[in-house]
């Protein structure tokens, strides 16, 4: 039996630093979404591995990222209290993949803090279907 993954792409992007003021020039939202779309096959691989041990697994994973001024994910962590999927190996796989991606850079001398939800569900009819949150409404 084949399964696919639908990831509803949506995000909450803010440019900030823990001890620094907000900047006037936030990270480019569309370029950020394109970076995520470019890595969806990797995330689908994580999900397919999870389905081998938990064939009914579906839900949401919210990932918090800190993007630096070079476009690197300096910090990647799952926000467990906002996520419905909690299997540790699955979450580690997602976080590891995201940490290797290249993102649009934050403005110089700042970081962009991004909370990004991924929605997972099996869709046996179309293995390559990825829809955005706007399309899902």
Residue 25: partners with Cβ closer than 8 Å, 6 or more residues away:
15, 107
64 CB-contact burial (10 Å; exposed 0-12 / middle 13-18 / buried 19+)? middle
Task: Give Dmax over CA atoms of the chain in angstroms.
Answer: 51
Domains of the chain: which residue ranges?
12-17+24-125
> What stretches of the chain show up as alpha helix (H) in DSSP?
29-38, 40-53, 88-99, 133-136
Q: pTM higher than 0.85, yes or no?
A: no
Residue 22 has pLDDT above 50, yes or no: no
Provide the CATH topology of domain 12-17+24-125.
TolA/TonB C-terminal domain (3.30.2420)
CB 84 within 8 A of CB 59: yes
Question: Of 28-32, 114-118, 132-136, which gets the smallest average pLDDT?
Answer: 132-136
DSSP letter for 106, please: P
- Residue 136 tokens, joined: 């899902």
Please state, in angstroms and rounded to a whole number, the distance separating the CA atoms of residues 32 and 39.
11
Please state, in angstroms and rounded to a whole number, the distance separating the CA atoms of residues 44 and 121.
11
Could you report the per-residue pLDDT of 109-130, keeping only the tens digit for each? 889 999 999 999 886 554 344 3
Residue 55 has pLDDT above 50, yes or no: yes
Please state, in angstroms and rounded to a whole number, the distance separating the CA atoms of residues 4 and 74.
29
What pLDDT score does 124 carry?
A: 54
Residue 5: partners with Cβ closer than 8 Å, 6 or more residues away:
40, 43, 44, 47, 48, 120, 121, 122, 123, 130
């Amino acid at each position: 039996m084949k399964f696919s993954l639908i990831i509803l792409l949506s995000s909450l992007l803010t440019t900030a630093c823990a001890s620094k003021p907000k900047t006037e020039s936030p990270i480019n939202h569309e370029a950020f979404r394109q970076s995520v779309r470019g890595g969806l096959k990797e995330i689908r691989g994580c999900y397919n591995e999870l389905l081998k041990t938990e064939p009914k697994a579906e839900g949401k994973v919210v990932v918090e990222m800190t993007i630096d001024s070079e476009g690197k994910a300096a910090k990647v962590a799952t926000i467990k209290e906002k996520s419905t999927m909690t299997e540790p190996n699955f979450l580690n796989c997602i976080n590891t993949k995201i940490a290797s991606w290249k993102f649009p850079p934050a403005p110089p001398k700042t970081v962009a803090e991004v909370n990004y939800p991924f929605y997972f569900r099996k869709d046996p009819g179309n293995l390559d279907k990825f829809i955005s949150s706007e399309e899902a409404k």
